[in-house]
Structures are given as structure tokens and as C-alpha cells.
Amino acid sequence: MLAERCQQARERLRLSIYALAKKTGVGVATISEIETGKNQNPGILTMAKLGRELHVTLDYLAGLTDDPIPPPKRQRTRTATPVG
């Protein structure tokens, strides 16, 4: 599942493996091994770099959800702390 989702997300953005490697700092060979299924257990930092650049969540890449879009960041309300 990781192999297909990584490759589909990369192709959707029209990135070559070389371009993705350059943007993420992950080696070309590592990305190729992930996409061919030879590396089915990449490290969390590698997954985070790929997910961030491919605009998908780690849950999506890992097959835990079918929704590739990260949820929007929620607004935090800020309250002033009284001084004194």
C-alpha cells in the first residue's frame, strides 16, 4: 500500500523521483525502493519528509486512512493573562 500511495502522490504532483529526492533530501535509491516495495518499513523521518512534500498525511501513506488531505490546522483562541 505504501508503494502505490507514494508513487501515486508523486505522479499526481508530476514530480520525478529525482525531483522528490532533491526536495526532501531522501536518496533516489530509497524513494525507488519504497515505490517498488523493496523497502516496506522506512523510518519515520523519511516518511515525514515524503508526506510533507507530497502533501499527504502519514496515516494516508501508511494505509490507516483513505483521505490523503491533511486536516486544516485549527485556530487556537488566545486569551490575555492578567499581569500582576
In terms of phi and psi (left: phi > 0; alpha: psi -120 to 50; beta: otherwise), the region of 55 is left
Structural domains of the chain, with CATH = 2-62 (1.10.260.40)
Note the pLDDT of residue 79. Answer: 73
Q: How many CA atoms lie within 13 A of 78 on its CB side?
A: 2
* pLDDT at residue 30, rounded to an integer: 96
pTM above 0.85, yes or no: no
- Which pLDDT tens digit goes with each residue over 26-84? 999 999 999 999 999 999 999 999 999 999 999 999 889 888 887 777 777 777 777 76
Per-residue pLDDT at 84: 65
**Cα–Cα distances in angstroms (integers) from residue 8 to residues 15, 27, 46, 58, in the given order:** 10, 18, 17, 14
